[in-house]
Structure 1
Amino acid sequence: MTSSIRTRRVATDRLTVQIAELRDEGEPVVFVHGNVSSSAFWHTTLPLLPDRYRPIALDLRGFGGTDPLPIDATRGLRDHADDLAALLTALGIGRAHLVGWSMGGGVIMQYLSDRPAAVRSLTLVNPVSPYGFGGTHGVDGTLNSEDGAGSGGGTANPEFVSLLAKGERGEDSPVAPRSVLANCYVKPPWRPEGEHEDAYVDSMLTTRTGDDHYPGDSVASTAWPGVAPGTRGVLNCLSPVHFRLDELHLIDPKPPVLWIRGEDDVIVSDTSVFDLAHLGAIGAVPGWDGTPAQPMVAQTRHVLDRYAAHGGTVREVAVPDAGHAVHLERPEEFGAALLGILTA
């Protein structure tokens, strides 16, 4: 996609991680991708940074060219955060600017919570809520059910998982990876240019599927919608029973935080089309019992407002007419905001 970008695999004390990079010197800026994607979604972003920076994008475990080790969902996003720490140690990087998109935003929030002194700045791009994905209500992330019903591996669309596993590259189905990219990752009618879109679809298809990866295992629940999170795989590590960041405002030191998001995101939203509670409310999932949708954006704002109230610096940038992949759809606005926090 971008000829100057090179990829290589880096052995760490946890696993071998594939990275994409431009140069070996400069102030490190590390980019972490979201769910059902890979570092390829950052390939057009890396060249935006001036030569004084060293941009690095990694593939998380089970995506791209990184070792597909199982994901222990009971640790929340710590498998990914610890993998990131191992990579930076292997590269000889002590402190870095971190940029995380979607699930990657949750990964770097977890990294910040565990290692605040190692973070120069934090840029959250349409991040998953600090209270996980699905199964909560209210700005404080109150569980809808003690078992986390409505979150985890059982909430994935089985046809999407099947087409992902089969390597489907077309868009005959509305839940084919290319269709999801065009209708959910970005805001229609905008679409990536031909070769870029193909590369993003290829990136999505690197996702390992199954109980240890995407979407993960699940268990039955007596609470609506009848499924609760298991202990393995991607969607379970995002469940609020395993991933919660209630005390981000207590860390010290507090690096500056940029929160940039597309205003028309339909994935991470207070009315997410991937949240079963919202889908139930609009009649797309049967048997809805009135469970409220997760206010994902409001939850993130609640956590970051507390961070600011306790001495942190937070800037929110809401980009109009943009969706979930604001860095792809609006590269100029994204690049300006990112440079703003890197030089702060």
Structure 2
Amino acid sequence: MSTSGTTPAPTPGGAASDFTCSVVETPRLRMNVWTSGPADGAPVLLVHGNLTTGGFWTYVAAELPSDVRVIAPDMRGFGRTDAAPIDATRGLGDMSDDVHALLETLGLAGTRRVTAAGWSMGGGVLQQLFLEHPDDLGALVLVAPVSPYGFGGTVDAAGTRAFDDAAGSGGGGAAPEFVRRLREKDRSEDDPGSSPRIVLRSFFGAGANAPNVDEEFLLSEALTTRVGDDFYPGDSRPSENWPMLAPGDRGVLNTMSPNHYDTSAIARSTAGIPITWIHGSDDAVCADRSMFDFGTLGELGAVPGWPGAAVLPSQPMKQQTRAVLAGYAAQPGQEGLVKEVELEGIAHGLPLEVPGRIAEEIAEVLVR
């Protein structure tokens, strides 16, 4: 393993005392990696979601068994990892390949020793890694993951697109004022609807557990997000279909457009490892009625001109995930390998809101 010294970073309050970060040189890029626990401990890979970093896993790390070695990288475009551009035509392939290269560098690729958990977009990264490098993982925990059919533009549990060009998904869906304030690293609560602090708190935050997390640390981490066509939110194209925009080929949000991202082949996988799916009943992000989905926003009148539920309903993200995992469990010898955990009253920020419960589910499938 080739590493350089500890990267300057804020220290989270109330978290694992040894949760620190350093740079790991991989064949693909220099990755900032947050770690805790003994170097020879059971490896637990934690992959963060959109607008966050590996640092967001600090509260889960603090709850994991003492013999666990936490490995929580910042994905490209986030945190202190190299600002390498994101090719969205490969879905989340750039990021899953980055994770594979990290595991190779650490001597863990292909060993089936790694227990991996991915939150939101990170769950999508691990789904793609699972398909392309199944021997990298010994167990998989999906925490409020993006659907196997991506984010936006699909209408049913089978992932059918509303439009051939996947209109209603991708980089054009981000609110311009939020993007501007993210670029300017705005920490204020002014105009709450576009404030990075309020959006983070409302949709990715700790809920009732807020007194026990360090919001200033989390906001500082979120504001490391690179902004632009190659990063967040990505580029877009005009469309003849409502909402008159279609995904482009670059940047974060386009990686999860259904014309680039599809991991539904998990339903046919015979990898034979346990998969746990954890989600909250009050999730407003990766949900059957996501507040970031154009079908939902159109129905609520937040975006004018909605063509109606017969054309573009809310994407049934949880139904899609459930159907794909049911297919995986139905493969020969895999009955009982899928566990679904719905947490009542919990929203999207599970690693912050219920870190102990997430750690408990990871420990249950831990490969030792």
Q: 1:307 aligns with which of 320, 324, 328?
A: 328
Distance 2:367 2:352 in 1: 22
After superposing the two structures, state which structure 1 stretch, 33-42 or 87-96, moved more.
87-96
Distance 1:269 1:147 in 2: 22
Distance 1:145 1:241 in 2: 10
Verify: 1:199 aligned to 2:213, yes or no: no
In structure 2, relative to structure 1, the CA distance for the partners of 1:259 and 1:194 (3 Å cut) is: closer
Structure 2 residue identity aligned to 1:9:
V
The answer for the alignment partner of 2:198 in structure 1 is 179
Q: How does 1:236-315 map to 2 (within 5 A)?
A: 236-290=254-308, 291-311=312-332, 312=334, 313-315=337-339
Q: Show CA shifts across 1:140-165 (max 9, x none).
A: 11011000100000011111101100
**How much does 1:31 deviate?**
0.3
Distance 1:299 1:191 in 2: 29
Q: 2:342 aligns with which of 294, 309, 318?
A: 318
Distance 1:219 1:249 in 2: 32
Q: Show CA shifts across 1:55-104 (max 9, x none).
A: 11000001001001000000000000000000111111133111100000
Q: Percent identity?
A: 45
Distance 2:181 2:212 in 1: 21
CA contact (8 A) 2:64 2:363 kept: yes
TM-score by length of 1: 0.96
The answer for the alignment partner of 2:8 in structure 1 is none
Give the gaps of 5 or more residues in structure 1: none
Distance 1:83 1:331 in 2: 26
Verify: 1:331 aligned to 2:355, yes or no: yes
Verify: 1:62 aligned to 2:77, yes or no: yes
SS of 2:142's equivalent in the other structure is strand
SS of 1:258's equivalent in the other structure is strand
The answer for the alignment partner of 1:15 in structure 2 is 29
**How much does 1:331 deviate?**
2.2
CA contact (8 A) 1:249 1:303 kept: yes
**How much does 1:321 deviate?**
1.2
SS of 1:48's equivalent in the other structure is coil
The answer for the alignment partner of 1:41 in structure 2 is 56
**How much does 1:195 deviate?**
6.3
Q: How does 1:87-236 map to 2 (within 5 A)?
A: 87-94=102-109, 95=112, 96-174=114-192, 175-186=194-205, 188=207, 190=208, 192-193=210-211, 196-236=214-254
In structure 2, relative to structure 1, the CA distance for the partners of 1:47 and 1:191 (3 Å cut) is: closer
**How much does 1:191 deviate?**
5.6
The answer for the alignment partner of 1:341 in structure 2 is 365
SS of 1:284's equivalent in the other structure is coil
**How much does 1:25 deviate?**
1.3
Q: Show CA shifts across 1:220-259 (max 9, x none).
A: 0000000000000000001000000121122232210010
CA contact (8 A) 2:115 2:362 kept: no
Structure 2 residue identity aligned to 1:62:
G
Verify: 1:4 aligned to 2:22, yes or no: no
Distance 1:332 1:20 in 2: 19
TM-score by length of 2: 0.90
Structure 2 residue identity aligned to 1:37:
T
Structure 1 residue identity aligned to 2:49:
G
CA contact (8 A) 1:257 1:315 kept: yes
**How much does 1:173 deviate?**
2.0
Structure 1 residue identity aligned to 2:286:
V
SS of 1:248's equivalent in the other structure is helix
SS of 1:17's equivalent in the other structure is strand
Distance 1:46 1:332 in 2: 9
Distance 1:268 1:210 in 2: 23
Equivalent residue pairs, number: 343
Q: Show CA shifts across 1:111-141 (max 9, x none).
A: 0011112210000000000000001010011
**How much does 1:187 deviate?**
6.9
SS of 2:59's equivalent in the other structure is coil
